[in-house]
């Protein structure tokens, strides 16, 4: 079976990171390029529900972007708002993604996995995957 070359956008949501120290975003960019996919956009924005929604809405409106990977903002702290930003955009939820992510993460980090609100779904025929901001969590989600 031949793999399709996908065009992927990477969004890091963080109030503390910059592009210079965004190891999770770096990992995702490297992994997608190593897998033969194309990076469409890479952006880092503050954790704000409307800013997240605006960026992702623009990306899913483009027929050239097949996948949006979002790292960060999936926890329980006061500013973590990625799921709230993305859920209204989804036409369909990939119901098992969050459950499987937490199950796999449990073997790595134990009960702390319940703090993750990782999710995935389709919006305008674009796959959106929201994962925690740690590099290890991004590795788990990618693999």
Q: For residue range 20-52, what is the model confidence (pLDDT) as tens digits?
A: 999 999 999 999 999 999 999 999 999 999 999
**Residues in a beta bridge with 122:** 92, 127
pTM confidence score: 0.92
What local confidence, expressed as pLDDT, does residue 76 receive? Answer: 76
Is residue 29 domain-resident?
yes
pLDDT, position 107: 77
With respect to residue 2, please indicate whether it lies within any of the assigned structural domains.
Answer: no
Give phi and psi for 40, each to the nearest 5: -85, -45
Instruction: Identify the domain containing residue 79 by its residue range.
Output: 7-142
In whole angstroms, give the CA distance from residue 89 to residue 70.
14
Q: Given a cut of 90, is residue 100 above it in pLDDT?
A: no
Most confident of 9-23, 74-88, 106-120: 9-23
Closest CA to 70 of 81, 61, 21: 81
Q: In this structure, is residue 1 part of a structural domain? A: no
CATH of the domain at 121: 3.40.980.10
Within a 10 A sphere around the Cβ of 8, how many other Cβ atoms?
A: 26
Q: How many domains does the chain have?
A: 1
Quickly state the pLDDT bin for 2 (edges 50, 70, 90). Answer: low
In this prediction, residue 115 has a pLDDT band, given cuts at 50, 70 and 90, of low
- For residue 124, is it within any domain? yes
């Amino acid at each position: 079976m031949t793999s399709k070359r996908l065009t992927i956008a990477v969004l890091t949501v963080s109030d503390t990171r910059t592009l210079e120290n965004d190891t999770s975003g770096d990992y995702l960019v490297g992994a997608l390029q190593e897998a033969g996919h194309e990076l469409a956009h890479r952006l880092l924005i503050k954790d704000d529900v409307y800013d997240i929604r605006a960026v992702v809405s623009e990306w899913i409106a483009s027929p050239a972007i097949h996948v949006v990977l979002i790292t960060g903002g999936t926890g329980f702290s006061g500013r973590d708002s990625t799921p709230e930003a993305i859920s209204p955009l989804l036409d369909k939820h990939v119901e098992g993604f969050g459950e499987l992510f937490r199950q796999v993460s449990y073997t790595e980090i134990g009960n702390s996995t319940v703090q993750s609100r990782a999710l995935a779904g389709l919006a305008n025929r674009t796959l959106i995957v929201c994962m925690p901001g740690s590099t290890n969590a991004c590795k788990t989600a990618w693999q």
